[in-house]
Structure 1
């Protein structure tokens, strides 16, 4: 068996044809300056090739459903295992994902509650009991007396399949109809249903009026339903117009509320899932919140007509203006009103249709909600947020599940109550939880998985997180450690794990636990490759690779390899010089006097775990908020301070954490949040576009003599718009060739040769460089080139000062490290 991963001629991005031998089944740290090529080696070369080779080993049928990575630019790699990447870039944007769902703890909880939960009535709180046949008949007569009813035998609930054999068996028993997803089908005709869709199927036993003279017939039909469907029966009460669905009564000889008479179906795991229609609250669909568009902010000037200023102008900036105008013209045709009528004088039905729609007309509220959840533009989201308010769902009170599911308990706690516990609290609860008899046999394997995952989460320093915490609110480091804990729980061996700075944001108190976890992953005979700057992680590493000596085009070389001691003594390694103490970061000699500065004063902060604290934050100073993981830092700064100031300055309606007051908020005229979210999700986003540099560069090129002669405006120099871009590749610079079962091949565009623009646009030059040449400049080179243009120079100086002088202006954001 090979003991090393051998790399020869790695040239991905800025890697300079490097050769390396990395020991297998060891904890290996890849370190170096930002931009030295760490991610290019770890993720874009080793992970990509390991993943690609594994996928290529699968069948051609399986490969067509999987995303395939391109082959890295490397001559040769041997000793490579299937690879798994745990990075910080892929933060889920799905509000349904929680700590418990990502780690699969919730899957085991659902199984535990379905198998061993005690059922309590959600209406009266009494424990449900089994019901006799006589009690079922009595309840039917009491609750639907005099009504026309359909008596059904439930056969299938929420399962996929075609069920041809089932339909044949039912027909042989003499039944004429089945109801599939609430629609009746005759059994003497072919029935075709999608086998990939979940179905509810019931056999129609009888249709009868509930009167005393039909009592014997009702008893026989109910008994038949109970016999056919494992002791359950469904009564569909028909309304006065003959339509079914007025009321559905479910009865079971298994479980029923003794007071209310409510019958309960056998609980299945999907009835505890807020991602399934069988468990999710029907009002909020399992989100726990309802998005409400604030009508008073949409209509800015009610005294004006709809097309002449009544609607807030920012709505037009969020949408294409023709969407709004088209909606208004459709409303005019439908309701026949005068477009010159001021909004305040419009009939109520027109106002209601404008917001909520009418028939096939989609209203503004639905359009705004669709835009908010479908767009990837943070700018559009920020604008739309001004018109949308999120409220707790009044039906489930934010708990996301149907009330029947929340009535099932284990150890006097519902699945919602368990999910609200922190990892530490849940660990204590499940350590004490036990069952007797058959319950013990059923619960042991489930509890083992839950306890293990809770233990691993605690060991990576995440004991403070609640199980129901949405992953969209987690920092990149927290999410990465959750994935790390989940991988340890899976227990794979012989795998290459690639991690991206797992110690980031972690308090030193918890770092030892993280290192223990990494070594545990290694001890399972895995190769653990960590991109890291943390000194303590390097001290614990079996092997270190230091890339450099500089960043960008000055990096990409292996300047030091070996253990911690070898790196400290390496004369070429800048990292080694800092580790040995030969170099150090100097502290400022002069600091701003915070005692004399004006301050923001927060009082009565008590969101989450904040205990009614008062905080003073001096203005005009560099302020650091620190504390152990879970101490309330993000709650204080993000949930309270940022959101409160954002609402005050930008007139948004963020949900703000609990606090009493903020003094001196008028001293702030702008607030910007810089988080760990990636700056773009497509190759079209780059440092120049993200920092608005490209706007000024395009304006500059539009002012050149050649551009004025050709009547080119700034938009001509955008690779996202028709006119200036190469239309063959649509400004991508390359073309994708689909290879069916092989990985797609990306080739340089034959027309533009990868420069993204057409020849007419490239003919316009400023100081002998066209727009494509400028995008290839590094920040440092661009500083010299644009030294005479202050609007561009100032932004470039800032990028250079924060250590990004090596980054190219046109480098796709998807290739930038987190």
Structure 2
């Protein structure tokens, strides 16, 4: 498929033809795929799958849509990626459902993401049972009155959170023996703002050099709680090399600063910091129910809206399907109009709820915070919500909808996408799960490697032609599970886990020095056990723990692969030791893009700048001065072996392994990144560009850098939450090899995993279940992979499906 052949507008009917796709690592690809079918795009991690499916095909559809939008409206729409393709013929509109990389807001819930809450609020507004007194006084409440996220519905005391946060002297000044100069007011912000508050107090004549407890009570009260905001002229005392300049400063009490920051900040880390200096209690006005009193008086089927939102989706689905569609529901609002409204609303709720339950989300509730959901759960909620959209003739581009699903639950994904196709749509699936790939109508395999070693179409056609082919995907299709060659490792110790937490009720002894995989259907309690309970139990036993989750390694482009792993510190030392740098008197800080002396003054070391155009969407572009290099030109005059520091950040891990082969500390860090399958990432790749799976493997690689000597001194319990997310089976095998290296070095590894490829290679499998939510949380099978394969559980059946276990 690498030799390009001319494709014409009418080369085939009912097909999408792509000509000369060259986005990112795609090598001028030509490919054709059918419409009204399920098309799987496969390949190793970083091979170019997403560049083809999302960047090129969906990106071109976005570009065409933007061209149809009035110019004055384009600036209100987020900018699209340039698809970098010569032409795409036969392309319908597209709907992309990607994995959530940025997380959800603090107020987002299962109900808001799935849009089910919209229908529920309307149900209570139009069809709820209103007390006579309320009906006489206000008539019918608007649907917004049933939402804690709107001004009409939120409890005014707690602003719809159900919790009141109160700053107290104890929380704001935890150590009253300290003086203000020594940091007694711990709640003050850092950097300039905290210094500003300090200097205003000095200007106002307050003592800052005596212990806090020795200040008069009236002064302590004023500093912490006054509503006054005096403006004073401050004469700050600065260092010898800092600017000595007076300014007009406005005072805010410490509690006022905390409350205002909590109300206005968009930063989750800032929010957590502010809340740490407050006491928290259930809201006395709403009792934690988040809504205005009137909304809590309305019921449907005997439930208030908050009680209904607390039901599991499975229970809610039973109520809705057993009531509305059968026409046996009762409504507290008389009249045919209300009955018709109820029928329409329940029929609208049914497809989404049914799909959510089928996709393994029945254990969730509408009020479950989105921040507690996995990326896979978030995407499946969005997938379920598409069922009532009524779209026809579009292409759905889906990013690993199998993420977070047990093998027995993945059939529901196929059922759902087939429903999209029967409704007159097409589906492109970027997927690593071979059971879903095998069920596709057409497969496009991209590779053969990752990054610059990928970008070619190795196969485009029926899946039968790919199975057994000499590609990573072909081999994975032919042999889905590897064979365990060695007997289980004997335990070197034990760790007993007993606990009841949420839906978890276990009493089990885990073996130290072993590789243990915790399995079970979605919501069975796996993550609660491994990431919630085990760290506390291991710490109480005096064991060192290493919890590796899919949380980002940073939130800005300043956090990169090179900085997180620590290898960039060694790189900067190499540059600082060059004769050129020493002659100029430059230290290692000069080669940091976070320091003003070395960074590009235009983009401040970001490498990109934001562009705002009056008639176009705002977007980011490469810095015109440093052209993405991040540094001042003079900084780049210093080279090491012919490379500038910007050149180093532009290297892939594979390229850097060659460049730093004779630098042991840097080479060791690069070797661990290579070992977990990250050769294709660039050293300067920013945290926002990394997937959750990539972030987790970077954390694992950082841990692998610890020397064997260090590990022998301090054996560690490594806890990982679905580390195979986003990994091709070939990459999974690399990951398992590295996890086994940790165990062979004396450490313990406990992994939450749905991938039977990992479970088949473990020393021990602990299966939780039998169901999700209240139906889960118990150990239903425990033993070697072969022993669990004989159990009558979901995992047992999945393992038994392969004769190779």
Whole-angstrom distance in 2 between the partners of 1:276 and 1:480: 25
Aligned partner of 1:128 in structure 2 is 132
DSSP-derived class of the 1:307 partner:
coil
Q: Partner of 1:39 in structure 2? A: 50
Hey, what's the Cα distance between the residues in 2 that align with 1:747 and 1:440?
55
1:350 and 2:219 correspond? yes
1:522/1:684 CA distance change after superposition, 3 Å: farther
**1:602 aligned counterpart, secondary structure:** strand
- Give, in whole Å, the separation in 2 of the partners of 1:70 and 1:419: 38
Note the 1:710-729 alignment, pairs <5 A. 710-729=584-603
Alpha-carbon distance in structure 1 between the residues aligned to 2:525 and 2:624: 55
* Secondary structure of the corresponding residue to residue 403 of structure 1: coil
* Pair 1:331–1:632, CA change in 2 (3 A): same
Alpha-carbon spacing, 1:629–1:670, altered in 2? closer, same or farther (3 Å): closer
- Whether the 8 Å contact between 1:93 and 1:472 is mirrored in structure 2 is yes
**Secondary structure of the corresponding residue to residue 431 of structure 1:** helix
Partner residue of 1:13?
Answer: 24
In 1, Cα distance between the equivalents of 2:169 and 2:516? 39
Q: How does 1:276-675 map to 2 (within 5 A)?
A: 276-291=150-165, 296=170, 299=173, 301-311=175-185, 319-333=189-203, 336-356=205-225, 358-360=227-229, 361-365=251-255, 367=257, 387=277, 391-433=281-323, 434-435=329-330, 437-438=335-336, 439-571=338-470, 573-581=471-479, 585-587=482-484, 589=486, 591-594=488-491, 596-599=492-495, 601-607=496-502, 609-610=503-504, 612-642=505-535, 645=536, 662=537, 665-675=540-550
Distance 1:41 1:817, change over 3 A: farther
Aligned equivalents of 2:622, 2:155: Cα separation in 1: 50
**CA deviation string 1:476-496 (max 9, x = no partner):** 011100000011221211112
Is 397-406 or 325-334 further displaced after alignment?
Answer: 325-334
Q: 1:614, 1:792 → 2: CA distance?
A: 44
Q: Evaluate the alpha carbon distance shift between residue 603 and residue 736 of structure 1 in structure 2; reply closer, same or farther with a 3 A threshold.
A: closer
Q: Following the alignment from structure 1 to structure 2, what is the Cα–Cα distance between the partners of residues 368 and 687?
A: 34
On the 8 A contact 1:307/1:325 being kept in 2, the answer is no
For residues 108 and 351 of structure 2, what CA distance do their matches in structure 1 show? 20
Pair 796,430 (structure 1): closer, same or farther in 2 beyond 3 Å = same
| Inter-CA distance 393–342: structure 2 relative to 1 (3 Å threshold) | same
SS of the equivalent of 1:445 reads helix
In structure 1, what is the Cα distance between the partners aligned to 2:17 and 2:398?
A: 19
How well do the aligned residues superpose, as a CA RMSD in angstroms? 2.9
Secondary structure at the aligned position of 1:107 is classed as: helix
Question: Could you tell me which residue of structure 2 aligns to residue 225 of structure 1?
Answer: none
Deviations 1:402-451 (A, max 9, x none): 22211111111100111000111001122333136423223111111122
From 81, 106, 113, the counterpart of 1:102: 113
Match of 2:792 in 1: none
Residue pair 1:456, 1:489 contacting (<8 A) in 2 also: no
**Alpha-carbon distance between aligned partners in 1 of 2:513 and 2:216, rounded to the nearest angstrom:** 53
Alpha carbons of structure 1 residues 269 and 349: separation in structure 2 relative to 1, 3 Å:
farther
CA contact (8 A) 1:716 1:723 kept: yes
TM-score when scaled to structure 1? Answer: 0.74
Contact 1:787–1:793, Cα closer than 8 Å, also in 2? yes
Match of 1:649 in 2: none
Whether the 8 Å CA contact 2:100–2:379 is kept in 1: the answer is: no
Maintained 8 Å contact 1:726/1:757: yes
What secondary structure is seen at the aligned counterpart in 1 of 2:437?
helix
Q: How many equivalent pairs are there?
A: 651
Contact 1:435–1:443 (8 Å) recurs in 2 = no
Preserved CA contact (<8 Å) 2:538 2:544: no
Partner-residue secondary structure (3-state), 1:8:
strand
Contact kept, 8 Å, 1:500 with 1:530, in 2: the verdict is yes
- Match of 1:201? none
Q: Structure 1's 664 and 9: CA in aligned 2 closer, same or farther, altered over 3 A?
A: closer
Larger radius of gyration: 1
Which deviates more, 541-550 or 359-368? 359-368
TM-score by length of 2: 0.75
Question: How much has 1:341 moved relative to structure 2?
Answer: 2.3
Equivalent-residue separation in structure 1 for 2:422 and 2:169 (angstroms): 59
Aligned to 1:241: none
Cα distance in 1 for partners of 2:286, 2:548 equals 32
CA–CA distance in structure 2, aligned partners of residues 802 and 294 of structure 1: 48
The range that moved more, 104-113 or 379-388, is 379-388
CA distance in 2, matches of 1:791, 1:311: 42
Cα pair 1:331 1:350 within 8 Å, conserved:
no
Deviation string, structure 1 residues 130-176 (Cα, Å, up to 9, x no partner): 8xxxxxxxxxxxxxxxxxxxxxxxxxxxxxxxxxxxxxxxxxxxxxx
Pair 1:454–1:351, CA change in 2 (3 A): same
Change (3 A) 1:666 1:697: farther
Distance change >3 Å, CA 293–CA 640, structure 1 → 2 = farther
